[in-house]
Amino acid sequence: MHKVTHLAICSLFALTPPFVLSGPAAAQDGEAKAPSVTVGFLLQPTDRPLLCSGIVPRACTDEAAVVTGTVLESYYALLCIFGGDPETGIAGVTLGVDYDGASQSGVDIEDGSWIRCANGLEFPTDDWPGPRSGNVITWDSEDGCQRTVPGDEAHGVTAVVGFFSVTAYNTDRLSVIPHTQFPLRGPTFLVADCNSAQFDLDPAKQAGSVGFSSDGSEKGNLPCIRHVEEETTWGRIKSTYGN
């Protein structure tokens, strides 16, 4: 795992385009449209080893998208970005995670199990993926732009950021939150597209979670924002919540 100081992250963002992308220049103010993406987790059984190359991206509304798990069972928690614009793609994300940090209480993330699927750079806090930790993760600017649309184009691009192994020992929730340790800027939750434009997200509407309980009462939440194409534009947006 890479470990960098806050100073190093500050220098990175101060001296390079957003997310270190070297492609087309970022859109000027007023030209870039804020994305309707969401960031969340999908759960997958650990009955066989998982490789990034073997993950099939799913749309946020896919019936097979599981966000509610059972205690004392192990899962892979896949960190994904959903609903990206196929025209501009997905190139990076800044986010945090949160859950009960006590050992064998609520969610435990297996030590050393974090696997990054994005093929660019990563700048985690020293305690990633611990409770209230944060990370900046990118795809390579030359060949990493994420444009995979699983299913209906109206559901947008899905990008698999990475995954780790989790087990919940009692009722708890693993949530996407802003990067609370981001230097100078304060809590930060944003995505970058393949044109080097970056956009702040609203954690109340665009951050998901997975829930764990013995009786299924702790439901996960995957905010799904459907893009409805009207003539030649994506225009109108319809939101639905919960899985």
Euclidean distance between CA atoms 46 and 44, whole angstroms: 7
Does the pLDDT value for residue 234 go beyond 60?
no
pLDDT of residue 5: 35
Q: Say what the pTM is.
A: 0.82
For the chain, give the percent of residues with pLDDT over 70.
78
Distance CA 134, CA 150 (A): 28
Rg of the Cα atoms in the chain: 17
Cα 149 to Cα 203: distance, rounded to the nearest angstrom: 23
User: Longest C-alpha distance within the chain, in Å?
Assistant: 53
What is the per-residue pLDDT across 13-24, written as a single tens digit (0 to 9) for each?
432 334 433 333
What are the pLDDT digits (tens) for 88-108?
Answer: 999 999 999 999 999 999 999
Smallest CA-to-CA distance from 198 within 29, 83, 78, 82 is with 29
Higher pLDDT, 25 or 36: 36
Average pLDDT over residues 153-175: 95
Q: Does residue 166 contact residue 209 with C-beta atoms inside 8 Å? A: no
According to the model, what pLDDT value does residue 230 have?
33
- Spell out the domains of the chain, with CATH numbers in brackets: 6-20+34-47+66-240 (2.60.40.680)
Tell me, what's the pLDDT at 110?
96
Q: Pick the residue with more confidence: 53 or 19? A: 53
For the ranges 23-27, 143-147, 205-209, the lowest mean pLDDT is seen at: 23-27
User: Average pLDDT, stretch 197-207?
Assistant: 95
CB 154 within 8 A of CB 228: yes
- Looking at residue 195, what is its pLDDT? 92
Residue 35 confidence class, pLDDT cut points 50, 70, 90:
low
| pLDDT band at residue 194 using 50, 70 and 90 as cut-offs | very high
- pLDDT of 226 reads 57
Average pLDDT over residues 7-14: 36
DSSP state of 224: E
Per residue in 174-193, pLDDT tens?
999 999 999 888 999 999 99
